[in-house]
């Protein structure tokens, strides 16, 4: 895959260098002699401005912030990109005796006049000023006076030519890095960056052509110099790929074992510098030149049309960058498993996938396949949470796996099996604590078309996820006597209470019901109950009720609809029991979604077991993980995808022809998955 990146980058650099070279070498003389020369050049510069800004805002910035982290660093690097090129141009201006290295020059002499016109009568001239595109030497028609002026200027303009070539070398080197990193990010981003560089290079090279001619270089020498400076672009590509090899992968480079872990840090940093560079060129170099253009071009009527030409060319440049995005979204432009085309229209979302144990890998593959069919803009990063021996001697999840999930902030998890015995810790509990996933959300709604003892069940359980009896504080008091400590804190209780009220407002439920045993456990459950009551004062639009755990279970079994308009919130152990009870009302854990949510991220999961007896037999039901994935999509703001997949899953179950065995059918996991895709 690294060869693919190299090929695309090299091809892009070749085209962005060769085509402008052809334009100024073959068409340049015609352009400079054309009476419409100023209009053509101002249109080219306006086109370059639109394309550069379009690349920054439609492609580079979405990629820079795709990981949803390091915002301050990346913003700082974008500003540094602007600053570095500002300093660089000031240095060039100093050695260029006050003239910046622009793309077109509207100041001083009549627009883009030939040097033969400017110097034809030199007797009354005290000084001839060479501007970037205001001068052009016509060697064939030069008069003796013109030749004398050229010779007198050669001594002073030669250093200017060397400065221009040095600037081009650095500029092309940066362009090469930008193109290389962009193609390593994704094909669309690489394509847009190459297009922006290409459109910018045309007026840029025309300007250089005029300067070098004025500096005494022959056209053939200019071509050779252009080719030599272009080599720095290829050097930039090599440097970019070298950095990728050292520090990671992303986009086209993804899944290449030669490219290492790149996308998390280095890619956004280089893209941020590139964006700063492009912003500076467009806004500090090109736009001022357009604004300072002469009021009259191409005759008396030129001034009326010039602004509209600039506006139109600007919009064409920006729209071309947007069209690259839209075209890349069409089917068939990329391999089926690639999400590159999703990057073109939507911000790509990286999600950690924990396949799990037993049937976990099978149902995880089913989810991935259905997401592909639905064209969900998701990029999966599989995480291995196989238990390892930790530093303290316990068996648990490796810190590296935890860090991957923390970085992506969103995860989807299949069932995990925790071995029974001393030294083993619950993998589920480890994830919740390590990622601070303090709220477990368990919606239980009847599946239409699947008959159970209860109809129209619509229950919502929110469980405190980090403490209570599941705090993991257990010890042996004496031989034959074990003690488990129930931990309830005001901080955790306030956090889950606020979450429950906010969630009720979000989903439109008018009530929150706190489930407790404060009549017996007066200190611990009493603290929990009182904390929820205090939180209720901050949400006057939501009504609070409380009920004891045993009474809540009794009433739910008698009539689940009594709790249809409320959000139930409760401590850890109670939530574990009540949520499974609610799952029984709708057909079991195989139909129940679940999400664990915290301030730093969220992990959504299937809560059923690993079912080792049917693992690998293509018999597992992926519904629970699919519905959990729909919860995940809503959490990410991708509601339309969530609705489409949920409707397809429920339709598949209601049709009855592709139900898995646990739902009373004979369909395999593969057949069920195919049916869901067909129903999308």
pLDDT for 15-31, tens place per residue? 777 766 666 666 656 66
User: pLDDT tens digit string along 107-123?
Assistant: 333 333 333 333 333 33
Average pLDDT over residues 89-112: 50
Nearest to 133 by CA among 156, 168, 108, 152: 108
pLDDT value, residue 548? 97
pLDDT value, residue 590? 92
Between CA 648 and CA 42 the distance in angstroms is 54
User: pLDDT tens digit string along 17-73?
Assistant: 776 666 666 665 666 566 666 777 777 778 778 877 887 887 778 767 755 556 677
Between CA 336 and CA 29 the distance in angstroms is 48
More confident residue, 175 or 145: 175
pLDDT value, residue 637? 85
Average pLDDT over residues 291-300: 55
pLDDT value, residue 74? 76
Considering only 10-14, 236-240, 339-343, 464-468, which range has the smallest mean pLDDT? 339-343
Query: Residue 527 in contact with residue 488, Cβ under 8 Å?
Result: yes
What pTM was estimated for this model as a whole?
0.56
Average pLDDT over residues 136-157: 38
Q: Which two tokens stand for residue 542?
A: 């939501």
pLDDT for 1 beyond 60: no
pLDDT value, residue 44? 72
How much is the mean pLDDT over the chain?
77
User: pLDDT tens digit string along 381-391?
Assistant: 999 887 777 77
In the structure, what pLDDT confidence band is assigned to residue 252 with cuts at 50, 70 and 90? very low
pLDDT value, residue 582? 96
Average pLDDT over residues 516-526: 95
Pairing of strands 481-484, 474-478: antiparallel
Between CA 568 and CA 457 the distance in angstroms is 14
In the structure, what pLDDT confidence band is assigned to residue 91 with cuts at 50, 70 and 90? confident
pLDDT value, residue 26? 64
User: pLDDT tens digit string along 644-674?
Assistant: 999 999 999 999 889 999 998 999 999 999 9
DSSP per position, 365-400: HHHHHHHHHTT--EEEEE-----EE-TTS-EE--HH
pLDDT value, residue 421? 55
User: pLDDT tens digit string along 391-409?
Assistant: 766 677 788 888 888 888 8
Angle between helices 2-22 and 187-214 (to 10 degrees): 30
Strand partners, 567: 512
Number of Cβ within 10 Å of residue 588's Cβ equals 17
Considering only 45-49, 571-575, 619-623, which range has the smallest mean pLDDT? 45-49
User: pLDDT tens digit string along 181-212?
Assistant: 778 766 777 777 787 777 666 666 655 665 56
Q: Which domains does the chain have, with CATH numbers?
A: 3-99+163-250+264-331 (no CATH), 347-441+589-679 (3.40.718.10), 453-586 (3.40.718.10)
pLDDT value, residue 229? 80
> Which long-range contacts does 561-566 make (Cβ < 8 Å, 24+ apart)?
561/456, 561/457, 561/458, 563/459, 563/513, 564/456, 564/457, 564/458, 564/459, 565/509, 565/510, 565/511, 566/460, 566/504, 566/509, 566/510, 566/511, 566/512, 566/513
Between CA 169 and CA 164 the distance in angstroms is 9
More confident residue, 101 or 605: 605
pLDDT value, residue 111? 34
pLDDT value, residue 410? 93
pLDDT for 529 beyond 90: yes
Nearest to 633 by CA among 619, 651, 647: 647
In the structure, what pLDDT confidence band is assigned to residue 93 with cuts at 50, 70 and 90? low
pLDDT value, residue 32? 59
pLDDT value, residue 499? 96
pLDDT value, residue 134? 37
Average pLDDT over residues 619-646: 93
**pLDDT above 90 covers what percent of the chain?**
35
Measured in residues, the chain has a length of 680
Between CA 658 and CA 664 the distance in angstroms is 10
């Amino acid at each position: 895959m690294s060869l693919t990146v190299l090929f695309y980058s090299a091809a892009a650099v070749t085209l962005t260098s060769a085509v402008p070279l052809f334009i100024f070498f073959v068409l340049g003389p015609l352009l400079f002699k054309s009476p419409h020369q100023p209009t053509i050049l101002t249109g080219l510069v306006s086109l370059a401005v639109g394309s550069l800004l379009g690349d920054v805002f439609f492609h580079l910035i979405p990629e820079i912030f795709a990981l949803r982290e390091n915002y301050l660093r990346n913003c700082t690097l974008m500003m540094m990109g602007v600053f570095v090129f500002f300093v660089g141009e000031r240095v060039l201006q100093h050695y260029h005796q006050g003239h910046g290295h622009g793309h077109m020059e509207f100041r001083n002499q009549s627009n883009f006049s030939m040097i033969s016109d400017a110097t034809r009568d030199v007797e009354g001239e005290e000084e001839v000023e060479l501007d970037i595109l205001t001068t052009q030497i016509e060697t064939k028609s030069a008069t003796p006076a013109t030749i004398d002026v050229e010779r007198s200027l050669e001594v002073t303009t030669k250093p200017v030519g060397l400065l221009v070539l040095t600037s081009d070398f650095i500029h092309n080197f940066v362009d090469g890095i930008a193109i290389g990193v962009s193609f390593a990010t994704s094909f669309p981003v690489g394509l847009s960056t190459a297009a922006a560089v290409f459109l910018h290079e045309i007026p840029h090279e025309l300007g250089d052509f005029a300067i070098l001619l004025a500096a005494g270089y022959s056209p053939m020498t200019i071509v050779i110099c252009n080719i030599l400076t272009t080599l720095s672009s290829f050097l930039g590509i090599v440097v970019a790929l070298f950095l990728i090899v050292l520090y990671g992968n992303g986009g086209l480079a993804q899944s290449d074992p030669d490219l290492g872990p790149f996308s998390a840090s280095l890619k956004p940093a280089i893209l941020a510098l590139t964006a700063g560079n492009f912003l500076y060129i467009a806004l500090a170099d090109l736009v001022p030149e357009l604004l300072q253009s002469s009021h009259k071009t191409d005759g008396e009527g030129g001034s009326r049309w010039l602004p509209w030409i600039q506006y139109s060319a600007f919009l064409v440049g920006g729209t071309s960058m947007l069209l690259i995005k839209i075209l890349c979204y069409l089917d068939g432009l990329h391999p089926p498993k690639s999400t590159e085309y999703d990057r073109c229209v939507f911000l790509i979302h990286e999600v950690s996938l924990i396949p799990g144990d037993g049937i976990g890998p099978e149902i995880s593959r089913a989810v991935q396949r259905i997401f592909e069919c639905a064209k969900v803009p998701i990029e999966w990063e599989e995480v291995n949470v196989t238990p390892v021996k930790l530093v303290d001697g316990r068996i648990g999840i490796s810190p590296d796996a935890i860090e991957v999930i923390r970085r992506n902030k969103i995860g989807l998890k299949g069932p995990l099996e925790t071995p029974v015995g001393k030294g083993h810790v619950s993998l589920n509990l480890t994830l919740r604590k390590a990622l601070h996933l303090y709220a477990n959300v368990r919606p239980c709604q009847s599946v239409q078309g699947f008959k159970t003892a209860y109809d129209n069940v619509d229950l919502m359980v929110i469980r405190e996820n980090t403490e209570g009896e599941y705090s993991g504080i257990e010890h042996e008091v004496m031989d034959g006597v074990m003690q488990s400590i129930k931990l309830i804190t005001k901080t955790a209780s306030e956090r889950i209470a606020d979450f429950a009220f906010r969630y009720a407002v979000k989903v439109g439920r008018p009530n929150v019901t706190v489930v407790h045993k404060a009549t017996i456990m007066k200190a611990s459950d009493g603290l929990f109950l009182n904390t929820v009551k205090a939180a209720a004062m901050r949400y006057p639009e939501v009504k609070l009720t409380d009920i004891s755990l045993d009474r809540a279970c009794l009433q739910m079994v008698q009539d689940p609809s009594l709790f249809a308009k409320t959000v139930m919130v409760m401590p850890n152990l109670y939530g574990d029991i009540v949520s499974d009870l609610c799952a029984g009302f709708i057909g079991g854990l195989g139909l129940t979604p679940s999400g664990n949510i915290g301030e730093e991220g969220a992990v959504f999961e299937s809560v059923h077991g690993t079912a080792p007896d049917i693992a690998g037999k293509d018999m597992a039901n992926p519904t629970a993980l699919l519905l959990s994935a729909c919860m995940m999509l809503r959490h990410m703001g991708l509601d339309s995808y969530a609705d489409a997949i949920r409707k397809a899953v429920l339709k598949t179950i209601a049709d009855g022809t592709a139900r898995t065995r646990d739902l009373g059918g004979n369909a395999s996991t593969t057949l069920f998955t195919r049916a869901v895709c067909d129903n999308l």
